[in-house]
Structure 1
Amino acid sequence: MTAPEAQGDVADRDAQEHVLVTAVRQAFACDGSLAQVDPSYREREAQTRLALAVAGAISERSVLVAEAGTGVGKTYAYLVPALLADGRVLVSTATKSLQDQLFLRDLPHVRDALSVPVQIALLKGRASYLCLHRLEQARHTATLPDRYAVRALAKVEQWAQVTRTGDLAELDGLDDRSPVIPLITSTRDNCLGSDCPSYRACHVMKARREALAADVVVVNHHLFFADLLLKETGMAELLPSVDVLVFDEAHQLAEAGVQFLGRMLSTGQVIDFSRDMLAAGLGHARGLVPWQELASACEHAARDLRLAAAGPLRESRGTLKLRWQERAGRADFGAALARLAEQLARAEEGLETVSELAPDFVKLAERARELAGRARCFAEETAADRVRWIDLSPLQARLVEAPLDIRQTMTEQLQAQPRTWIFTSATLGDDERLRWFTEPTGLDDARVLRVGSPFDYLRHARVYVPERFPAPNSGEHPQAVAALAARLAGRLGGRTFVLTTTLRALAPIAADLRTAFDDMDLPIEVVVQGSAPKRQLMQRFTSGEPCVLVGSHSFWEGIDVPGEALQCVVIDKLPFPPPNDPLVEARVRKLESEGRSAFLEYFVPEAAVALKQGAGRLIRTETDRGLLVVCDPRLARMHYGRRLLAALPPMQRVATLDEALAWIDELKTALPEPTA
């Protein structure tokens, strides 16, 4: 390219940026496009600042990492410039529920406000869509565990006649944990692809076609990484044509990537395969292959592997995470892996002899071959840049191998072609460069922007750290947390979240809370994570009746309870990563091998981000008021406590329980009178 041509390109880019910046400013002005369709719209300096930074990144085809505090309005801040720019947009969110919110509410609102003729599409993983072929099979062959599952299947069959999308999110009342879901959805393993008799009407394929034709596509982080690994989610054709990629809730991106860029073999997968093989064999090729023998051999090999993985451990109710080294050197574990690979290879041979009789056999042979290959891989040494562990539950063992981070993968993607990458979240780190996020994602050189929340935390929120409190690792700590939470929630009339750092703490804290409310003769309900689906628990909490919710990891983020329904958040202890977790151990070893402090550069930033997420449940609107309680005296006593406190929103600190109760009383006086 000649010098004049290069100068011309720069001039064109400058002109395009000027046009986009002008349009963005107009959209966010007090009399702009957004204000004209929403009477409650107010111009916010922080939101406009973020939107202009996004517009600049789009014009320059550069990378922007933006932390935007609660209340900034980051969704509109990236959607407006993305829709006003002339290009194809991919928006990735952390969860399917956030996808639905973007696609059904935010995107149509912004599109209509700006009057831009863009076509939008929603793309989820295949497990989110009804599989018509599997539904037909379930009608005739499924064995359902109880009458609730029978009713659920009947409801699905009725809905299947009218749905256009096949998205299971349309079905109200279908529990995510329902045993019906695996029967009516496909997986990469059992999908027949173009050989499926229902292929022309396939909801998954229809969603992919719509995504390929759309200007703006909404996906999730898991789908994005699944496609990078498998190239079969429909995005392999879509990604090369995308001009702008936006990752909302980007703080979850690295862990989603680690999960999907690894390798996994579970005994449950093998048992599912053996049962599918038996059903297909008896249905299409009875008597031609010893199906019962092959299926039984695979199942026995899978169960033997689980027993070898468990070793001397007794049965536990939950899931245990075991270090790979604890089992890899045992002779019975190695023998179980070899036996599993051998039985799967025998099954593959049997399936290939009848492959011409039905497409099911071709797919089953592929599954057998892939599962056997994974078993052989896990019998080999672990690569230096990866870590392995075993997830052991009462029903199965999962062998997992994962990279330590997504740095290499993201670097390859960023260098593939020039386009815009936007990463945004309310919590991306606790330093100016946001290294907690940028380092493991390979974004060290990206432009970084931090936009604070517009909320008045100093006036509306208080934080209380009880200094005379049992140590977080003592046996008295859960009981003390429950006693303090009961006193605060009792005074407030419920309206309280108790967030724990471990699932183990849920039951004892909830039990002690119930006992305390009974002793105080207070009609406050205690709802606990795991006792019902998350959506149902939130409905009960926000019903208006006095209620306390006790939850762990899944309630630390993604929960939005504005107004007076939630005015107190109690956190049991500082959310440091578990030091005995194999992935954490591997990351610590890497940092220490580089001469760095694992505690200051890994544990403290991880705790800061998680603490900020939990605290973020408290204040959700400009008028919300509340009390944050962190029941960990280390926050007040240890040198790193100041760093963690600084990561929180600028709440005013109260020093004593009496001051905390006085603030609770002040919150109560502002509550509306109950209606008759």
Structure 2
Amino acid sequence: MTIKNYFEDEDFLPSVLSGYRPRKQQAEIADFIHKSMSGHVPAVVEAPTGSGKTLSYLIPALELERKVIISTKTKQLMLQILNKDIPIASKLFGHSPAVYYLKGRRNYFCHERFFRLIYPSSSFYPDAVKWFEGIAENYVIEIPFGMFGGEVIEKMTADSYQCTGSSCQFFAHCSFYRAKEAANASDVIVTNHHLLASDIAMKSKSEFGAVFDFAEHVIFDEAHALPDIYPLFAGSDINLRSFMSLIRENKTHFSPKDAETATGAYNTLLAGVRESRMLLEQMKGDVDRYLETVFRIIEDKTEKEIKDPFTKLKAALVPIRGEEEGVRICEAGAGSFTVKFIPLTAGDNFREGLKGTCISPLFISATLTAGDSFGYFLSELGYDPSEVNALKTGAVFDYETRGRIYVPKGLWNDKNADGIYTALASRLEGSMLVICNSTRRMEELAALFETALPYKKVFIQGNVDVSDRELETGGIFIGCNIFREGVDFAHTGLKCVVLDKLPFEYPDDAFLKQKSEKVKSNGGNPFMDFFLPRAVIYFKQAVGRLFRHEDDMGLWVVLDDRLLTKNYGKSFMDVLKNVHRVRTLSEALSFLEVCDGKDQAGL
């Protein structure tokens, strides 16, 4: 029996999954993954939307009875894996593996901080105290986000700087360490990229303090996000407000004058901010003066609850203030000021940390290639293509028959597009998704629709939960990268996806500018080898929102004729290869009527 039998034979998936339709791509992917896992060879798979990629890796992993860590970027996919996909796959083998879902440290209750910062002031926090008394006996206590405000949650959770680990008097009762222990005792751990990336970065330097025990395989689902996420953990970052929190939370050990001096220094730092994101060198003098002030106030304190986190915070500043090659930036907003060091290359660091995490990884996503090459993705993670088994499968859905693309010519400014937007939205009965490159443009379009089409429901990224199954069809959804990357709009009756511009990033961004200069210094072309591959991957993500099922149909609109006039436009058009391009707005509107079911003969 081969792994393909689980997908093709009536006694397996078709018998446990109602409405299951065998797809050759799904069986092909599963067979490839099974062979790679059997040989413990690193593997990378681009599995198109609708290919059933989750079952394609779960079934081989369970069939081989391997200990695996599954990491995703989005909570939506984590919950799908836990509540839907693992139970389905388990039915094929007659038993359920031990599965645990491990979250970041801030999701778990901290006894030490609760009894130091909340309980002594019970009259100020009656709801928090009452809640704790009701769940105090739980083996693992998770934070009920939405029940309490941010200040309360901050006082009963700990970040890595505040946690004292095994030296804590409540260590035996620690919810995070209990959850960690339960996870590492399980067969399958489901977690998120941020927690796992942090752990891999730690292991690249030392095994001490690691969260995850060694597993045979790590499966990085939604792996396209790793090149952007991992460098954040290979470097260092610290919110300089943490020093203020340390003083406020231990105010009995500081004089009122010291607290006032620290507050004044922090407010002076914030007053010097000119942009929300800048190179650190632009604020270096302000940052140094603030740190000099708070160091003078804190550094002589010997109390453990002050000394330990202060030592960790100072250690986090070392690479930020050091000379190692990378980008040093500061980000300000809503009373916070974060300083970061991000290395320009983190692939070697990733590979080193991964050695202590698993024997072989699997990277899988719907959007990993530019053209037919995994080169950009693999190079960012330190791999040469010759080291990795690679598979890219064809589209599952019939884009050629059931989709159309419209690229109007001569749109020399945003105002020229207004008439196209209103024409599309007014004619469409299904929903429309608009992907922008900036929040400013997102807000402009929201105002346009609300003025021109007041009877249409407009939903803006950040103000709507798209997973809400009660959302009406016929809405207009406007967003940026979050809507583009991994949100499922199938239940909204989506019929049209509009890209306001090709999704190129801004080359003047502090990090991207230095990253592109690094590419150039290594003999590469910053545009062709860095910005273009990233933009093509983002384009794939955006167009992938439209089709989720075999009977879907719809229209892609790209309001950027560089797609037609520039040589690199072919890199984008190849994503929708063989899809018929309609030439006029009238043709586009006619096709939308077909999509809405008014003119099925027009298909």
Q: Which stretch of the first structure deviates more once superposed, 23-32 or 190-199?
A: 190-199
Answer yes or no: is 1:395 the counterpart of 2:335: yes
Aligned CA distance change for structure 1 residues 551 and 564 (closer, same or farther; 3 Å):
closer
Partner residue, 1:89: 68
The whole-number CA distance in structure 1 between the counterparts of 2:133 and 2:589 is: 53
Which runs of no fewer than 5 residues in structure 2 stay unpaired?
none
Give the drift of 1:153: 5.2
Aligned counterpart for 1:70 among listed residues 45, 49, 56: 49
Answer yes or no: is 1:509 the counterpart of 2:509: no
Matches within 5 A, 1:196-211: 196=168, 198-211=170-183
Aligned counterpart for 2:256 among listed residues 292, 295, 300: 292
Matches within 5 A, 1:476-555: 477=414, 479-493=415-429, 495-518=431-454, 523-530=455-462, 532=463, 534-535=464-465, 538-539=467-468, 543-544=471-472, 546-555=474-483
Partner residue, 1:383: 324
Measured on the aligned residues, the alpha-carbon RMSD in Å equals: 3.0
The whole-number CA distance in structure 1 between the counterparts of 2:178 and 2:580 is: 53
SS at match of 2:518: helix
Give the drift of 1:505: 1.2
Give the drift of 1:243: 0.8
Partner residue, 1:244: 217
Partner residue, 2:488: 560
The whole-number CA distance in structure 1 between the counterparts of 2:254 and 2:584 is: 73
Is 1:496–1:549's contact at 8 Å kept on the other side of the alignment? yes
Is 1:84–1:116's contact at 8 Å kept on the other side of the alignment? no
One-letter identity of the residue aligned with 1:125? G
Answer yes or no: is 1:271 the counterpart of 2:250: no
Aligned counterpart for 1:591 among listed residues 490, 513, 519: 519
One-letter identity of the residue aligned with 1:575? P
Answer yes or no: is 1:258 the counterpart of 2:238: no
- 1:249-286 per-position Cα deviation (integer Å, ceiling 9, x unaligned): 000012110111111132222222221121xxx2xxxx
Partner residue, 1:664: 592
Matches within 5 A, 1:112-151: 112-135=91-114, 137-138=117-118, 141=121
Aligned counterpart for 2:309 among listed residues 355, 367, 370: 367
Q: Which stretch of the first structure deviates more once superposed, 226-235 or 121-130?
A: 226-235
The whole-number CA distance in structure 1 between the counterparts of 2:522 and 2:208 is: 40
Is 2:4–2:28's contact at 8 Å kept on the other side of the alignment? no
Aligned counterpart for 1:456 among listed residues 393, 398, 403: 398
Aligned CA distance change for structure 1 residues 326 and 212 (closer, same or farther; 3 Å):
same
Partner residue, 2:162: 190
Aligned counterpart for 1:610 among listed residues 538, 553, 556: 538
- 1:499-556 per-position Cα deviation (integer Å, ceiling 9, x unaligned): 11111212111011111113xxxx21112223x3x42x5538x522542121112111
Partner residue, 2:497: 569
Aligned CA distance change for structure 1 residues 217 and 394 (closer, same or farther; 3 Å):
closer
SS at match of 1:90: strand
SS at match of 2:92: helix
Give the drift of 1:179: 5.0
Answer yes or no: is 1:324 the counterpart of 2:280: yes
The whole-number CA distance in structure 1 between the counterparts of 2:543 and 2:130 is: 39
- 1:286-312 per-position Cα deviation (integer Å, ceiling 9, x unaligned): xxx44433333333333333344x2xx
Give the drift of 1:398: 1.7
Partner residue, 1:166: 141
Answer yes or no: is 1:420 the counterpart of 2:360: yes
Aligned CA distance change for structure 1 residues 87 and 661 (closer, same or farther; 3 Å):
same
Give the drift of 1:172: 8.1
Aligned CA distance change for structure 1 residues 620 and 545 (closer, same or farther; 3 Å):
closer
The whole-number CA distance in structure 2 between the counterparts of 1:649 and 1:71 is: 18
The whole-number CA distance in structure 2 between the counterparts of 1:54 and 1:412 is: 23
Answer yes or no: is 1:634 the counterpart of 2:559: no
One-letter identity of the residue aligned with 1:337? D
Aligned counterpart for 1:216 among listed residues 177, 185, 188: 188
Is 1:33–1:114's contact at 8 Å kept on the other side of the alignment? no
One-letter identity of the residue aligned with 1:269? S
One-letter identity of the residue aligned with 1:550? I
Partner residue, 2:379: 439
Aligned CA distance change for structure 1 residues 179 and 651 (closer, same or farther; 3 Å):
farther
Count of matched residue pairs? 595
Give the drift of 1:661: 0.2
Scaled by the length of structure 1, the TM-score of the pair is 0.81
SS at match of 1:555: helix
SS at match of 1:497: strand
Answer yes or no: is 1:24 the counterpart of 2:3: yes
Q: Which stretch of the first structure deviates more once superposed, 414-423 or 597-606?
A: 414-423
Partner residue, 1:6: none
SS at match of 1:554: helix
Is 1:264–1:401's contact at 8 Å kept on the other side of the alignment? yes
- 1:592-635 per-position Cα deviation (integer Å, ceiling 9, x unaligned): 11232211111111110001101111111111111111111211
Aligned CA distance change for structure 1 residues 458 and 80 (closer, same or farther; 3 Å):
same
Is 1:563–1:620's contact at 8 Å kept on the other side of the alignment? no
Is 1:498–1:571's contact at 8 Å kept on the other side of the alignment? yes
SS at match of 1:349: coil
Is 2:199–2:211's contact at 8 Å kept on the other side of the alignment? no
Which runs of no fewer than 5 residues in structure 1 stay unpaired?
1-21, 145-149, 283-288, 314-318, 356-361, 472-476
- 1:182-228 per-position Cα deviation (integer Å, ceiling 9, x unaligned): 34422122234345565444321221111121111112111112113
Q: Which stretch of the first structure deviates more once superposed, 487-496 or 651-660?
A: 487-496
One-letter identity of the residue aligned with 2:411? F
The whole-number CA distance in structure 2 between the counterparts of 1:173 and 1:307 is: 31
Aligned CA distance change for structure 1 residues 39 and 379 (closer, same or farther; 3 Å):
closer
